[in-house]
């Protein structure tokens, strides 16, 4: 984690009390920099929208909003702050707000030069390019995380064959595997084929990386767990950390292989999972979510290299 990332925070903003901060950002980016007419920028819908705000060293540097119908817009980052990943984090915060509001889909009008940014976040273009406020745009849509995105295979029953898919994903990894699980369910993850695959990945190269993130450490410590033993045996290659609490995590399970393969299951244990074998664009939002949670995690004393 870089110092620059650590100094930037993303949070929800309230229009009635923080209108001036949000207006300053959008005035600078849209009206002054891009030449958007003020009557278009200030459309009278801000009071009904959900807003997010990026702060760097306590100073506002970016923002975005979500309308009740699922439209994401007014994504703005000040020029000196671009290239730091702030836009990705603002977008993720808006997607989380949409999910919490019960929306099944979000959409936006992307400026054409930013279309690839939204594609990497799982948005799909719909229709031909058009002009808005004199700037070329394209309409894009994206299902929310509780829905299987286009190209995903659905109905992967939990715990089986979900557990077998997890092994297959690990066996095909060449550089990295990220695993997020509430308690490393023994039925799915305490299996020798999975341990063998991750052990081989960790030994393949010094650049190989396995990261495991859990919230409840007690079941694996009290009962013993093959992945806990592996992390203790190979601590430099297999990193196991605890996430005590985070508002953006709803208890789902994620396995991400080499930034392009994904196995995902909602927080409810009786829900089926979804599988994406190879699509960096569709997996990117899930990887961004994992990275955000990882930044807020730490190594628990029980994970250290001591005998079970």
The maximal CA–CA distance of the chain, rounded, in angstroms, is: 67
pLDDT of residue 212: 97
Give the residues of the chain that fall short of pLDDT 50: 1-6, 145-146, 307-308
pLDDT of residue 162: 87
* Cβ pair 118, 88 in contact under 8 A: no
Domains belonging to the chain, first-starting first, are 3-143 (3.40.630.30), 153-303 (3.30.870.10)
pLDDT of residue 141: 81
Give one DSSP letter per residue of 67-127, joined into a string: -TTSEEEEEEE-GGGTTSSHHHHHHHHHHHHHHHTT-SEEEEEEEGGGHHHHHHTT-EE-S
* Cβ pair 201, 178 in contact under 8 A: no
The whole-angstrom separation of Cα 264 and Cα 126 is: 26
| Residue 46 DSSP one-character state | G
Rg of the chain over Cα atoms, rounded to whole angstroms, equals: 21
Q: Which helix (H) or strand (E) holds 269?
A: none
> What distance lies between CA 192 and its chain's CA centroid?
29
The whole-angstrom separation of Cα 119 and Cα 131 is: 19
The whole-angstrom separation of Cα 274 and Cα 147 is: 9
Residue with tokens 């990894």: 173
In this structure, the strands spanning 253-257 and 261-265 are antiparallel
- Residue 160, CA distances (Å) to 167, 169, 186, 193, 252 in order: 11, 14, 12, 14, 16
Q: Kindly report the pTM of this predicted structure.
A: 0.53
């Amino acid at each position: 984690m870089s110092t620059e990332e650590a100094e930037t925070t993303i949070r929800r903003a309230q229009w009635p009390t923080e209108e001036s901060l949000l207006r300053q950002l959008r005035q600078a980016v849209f009206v002054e920099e891009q030449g958007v007419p003020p009557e278009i920028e200030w459309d009278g819908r801000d009071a009904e929208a959900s807003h997010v705000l990026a702060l760097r060293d306590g100073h506002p540097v970016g923002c975005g909003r979500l309308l009740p119908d699922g439209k994401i817009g007014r994504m703005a980052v000040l020029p000196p702050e671009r290239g730091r990943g702030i836009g990705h984090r603002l977008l993720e915060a808006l997607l989380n707000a949409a999910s919490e509001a019960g929306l099944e889909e979000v959409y936006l009008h992307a400026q054409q030069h930013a279309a690839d940014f939204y594609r990497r976040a799982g948005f799909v273009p719909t229709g031909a390019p058009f002009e808005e406020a004199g700037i070329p745009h394209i309409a894009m849509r994206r299902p929310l995380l509780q829905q299987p995105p286009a190209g995903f295979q659905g109905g992967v029953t939990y715990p089986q064959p979900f557990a077998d898919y997890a092994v297959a994903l690990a066996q095909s990894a060449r550089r990295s595997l990220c695993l997020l699980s509430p308690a490393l369910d023994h039925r799915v993850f305490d299996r020798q084929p999975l341990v063998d695959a991750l052990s081989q990945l960790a030994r393949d190269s010094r650049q190989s990386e396995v990261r495991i993130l859990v919230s409840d450490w007690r079941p694996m410590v009290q009962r013993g767990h093959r992945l806990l033993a592996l992390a203790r045996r190979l601590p430099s290659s297999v990193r196991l950390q605890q996430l005590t609490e985070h508002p953006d995590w709803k208890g789902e399970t994620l396995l991400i292989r080499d930034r392009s393969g994904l196995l995902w299951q909602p927080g409810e244990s009786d829900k089926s999972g979804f599988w994406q074998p190879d699509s960096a664009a569709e997996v990117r939002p899930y990887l961004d979510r994992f990275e955000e949670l990882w930044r807020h995690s730490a190594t628990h004393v029980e994970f250290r290299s001591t005998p079970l």
